[in-house]
Structure 1
Amino acid sequence: MNNVIGVDIGGTKIRMGVIDAEGRILAERQVKTEFPLYPYLERQVVQFLEEHPTVSAIGIGTHGFVDPKAGSIVFAGDMLPGWTGTEVKSPLEKATGRPVEVENDANCAALAEAKFGAARGLGRVVCITLGTGLGGGIIWDGKLLSGGTHGGAAELGHMILYPNGARCACGRLGCAEQYVSGTALVRRIKEAGLSVTPPELFELAKTDGKAQKLVAEFTEDLAIYISSLQAIFDMDMLIIGGGVSESASAWIDELNSRLATVLLNPLPVEIARFENDAGMLGAALLVLDR
């Protein structure tokens, strides 16, 4: 039985699971993200491995720019302090005695949705994750578009949406991540003088004009952003995952109505089937075919 461990590293939590070849989660654990991150990660993975010693390999999905060949973190920003420049693959292979592969978390989510989820059977798919940040993953002719000269391929959250706009963690102004992500919604809510969480905002928008305006701005920005992605990739489907997608029932109709006015061609837009499991499942897929 070729079971593997998939690990999803986020800004607030780390999820790890034993995954089989059918994408089933046989066992899992969630821990709070702590720093310095690498030694903490190694301890958690080794402990999990001791409980599940028959797994054959380990896949790691993480926020940030990743060099998948070297298995190192090129850039991670403030969400994972001290993570930039960290070697992950080599020391973790030594610590566990198992092959390790490392990839960006949004790329992992795209892999999971293309293999097991909403885009199963499709060749060209773009997956965006609206979470703490805005991630992106691209499946092109069935393969993950990954790496890049600086580990930044498919960093779709860093396409500039508003020139000279809000400052991003990458240091530039106006990145899409600052307008269509969970963190962006928190900032916009605060600037509007409201005291609600993003999920509460979408509920409040049913009765409150100020909240309605914020949701309209969010869906309009998201529609323009998606239309730009379509102009580049002309994909079969766009998938929306991440924490913000969990409240999609409250805003997906408005998004689709705005998309109808800006898309070049019809485009199916689906909510990720795996929600918060996608990163962990995709991390497992990095090593399942070994």
Structure 2
Amino acid sequence: MANVMGVDIGGTKIRLGIIDAEGNILYDEKIPTQFPLYPYLEENVLRILAEFPDAEAIGIGTHGFVDPKEGRIIFSTEALRGWTGTKVKAQLEAASGKRVEVENDANCAALAEAKFGAAKGLERVVCLTLGTGLGGGIIWDGKLLSGGPNGGAAELGHLTLYPRGADCACGRKGCYEQYVSGTGIQRRIHEAGLEMTPLEMFQSAATDEQSNQLLEAFTYDLGIVISSLQAAFDMEMLVIGGGVSESAEYWWPQLIRQLEPLLLNPLDIQTAKFGNDAGILGAALLVLKGK
């Protein structure tokens, strides 16, 4: 089949690419996120389509709550200001004359890992994206579990870990996101009176007791998150991606040690194969035939 366009929209940059049916990225471009977002997106999509007119369709992964049927942004934080309510699918289909599908970015990452990546060939997979926040994606019987009346299915980052815990951007307290995301780890470092990045904390844990305590608290909480998700979904594999996963060499043994007594059954846990490519590949998979 012909190629498709994949677009990954984040708070600081937008990545646009042309991808073939085997998941090869034939063209790749990053541009800074600018506002108002929709006209800027349309302008750049049409510019690239002019160079690759054979691209059959456009898949878009974006931060926020998405109605995938209508391709509309139900809610987005100030990271993508003015994005809430945008009818991306209808507007971009009218402008481009091509089929457009829109999904949450963490769902796109899960789709990429299940189709081409760490969980290739598996039917039930949970993906966690540990970045600035905590994204979640679920593959259920080979298909993406998404949507819902509020576009909030698989918002795993907003399950409650500690009732009456740390304030979350969603307006509630104690969400998973506030303990195992990069932002959550940084908050705990600051509360401990330390001045270092999460990576520096992980690296110094072997020789510094305070850093080690923070690492142990992070891996224990992540273990609770994983075991709770296993109880809900009984997945074949859990895949961990996002920026925090890039430092997994420093905390993976502690996670496995803390996780073992928490699991109901043995579970295969892997780091994501595609890293930063997962978003754009998953967006493309929204529109690749035979996905």
TM-score (normalizing by structure 1):
0.97
- Counterpart residue number, 1:6: 6
Please say if 1:89 is aligned against 2:89.
yes
The alignment status of 1:147 with 2:147, answered yes or no, reads yes
**Distance in 2, Cα, partners of 1:91 & 1:289:** 22
For 1:51 and 1:201, the matched residues in 2 are separated by: 46
The residue matched to 2:247 in structure 1 has which SS? helix
Measured in 1, the distance between the counterparts of 2:198 and 2:45 equals: 32
Counterpart check, 1:273 vs 2:273: yes
CA contact (8 A) 1:59 1:287 kept: yes
Write out per-residue CA displacement over residues 146-193 of structure 1, whole angstroms, 9 at most, x where no aligned residue.
101211111111101111111111111111111111111222222222
CA pair 217-78 structure 1, distance change in 2 beyond 3 A = farther
Deviates more, 1:21-30 or 1:2-11: 2-11
Distance 1:78 1:192, change over 3 A: farther
Tell me the amino acid that sits aligned with residue 187 of structure 2: R
| Aligned counterpart, 1:283 | 283
The structural deviation recorded for 1:81 is: 2.1
Q: Deviations over 1:173-226 (max 9, x none)?
A: 111111111111222222222222222221122222221111111111110011
Contact between 1:62 and 1:105, CA under 8 Å: does it hold in 2? Answer: yes
Aligned to 2:171: 171
Provide the C-alpha distance between the structure 2 equivalents of 1:163 and 1:37, rounded to a whole number of angstroms.
36
Shift of 1:110: 0.8
Letter aligned with residue 124 of structure 2: R
State the shift of 1:78 in Å: 3.0
Distance 1:186 1:81 in 2: 24
Q: Deviations over 1:39-94 (max 9, x none)?
A: 22222222222222221110000111110011011112233222222211111112
Contact 1:18 1:25 in 2 (8 A): yes
After the TM superposition, which residues 1-290 of structure 1 pair with which residues of structure 2 at under 5 Å, given as runs? Answer: 1-289=1-289
Aligned residues: 290
Q: Which stretch has the larger CA shift, 141-150 or 195-204? A: 195-204
2:133 partner amino acid: G
Give the superposed CA RMSD. 1.3
Deviation >3 Å, runs of 4+: none
CA distance, structure 2, for counterparts of residue 79 and residue 188 of structure 1: 22
Aligned amino acid, residue 255 of structure 1: L
User: Aligned with 1:172: secondary structure?
Assistant: coil
The answer as to whether partners of 1:117 and 1:274 remain within 8 angstroms in 2 is yes
Equivalent AA in structure 1 for residue 125 of structure 2: V
Unaligned ranges ≥5, structure 1:
none
What's the % identity of the aligned pairs?
68
Whole-Å separation in 2 of the counterparts to 1:188 and 1:51: 47
Unaligned residue ranges in structure 2 (runs of 5+): none
**Which amino acid counterpart does residue 30 of structure 2 have in structure 1?**
Q
1:85-134 deviation line (CA, Å, top 9, x unaligned) = 22111111122221110001111111101100111111100011111111
After alignment, is 166-175 or 264-273 more displaced? 166-175
* Amino acid in structure 1 at the alignment position of 2:49: L
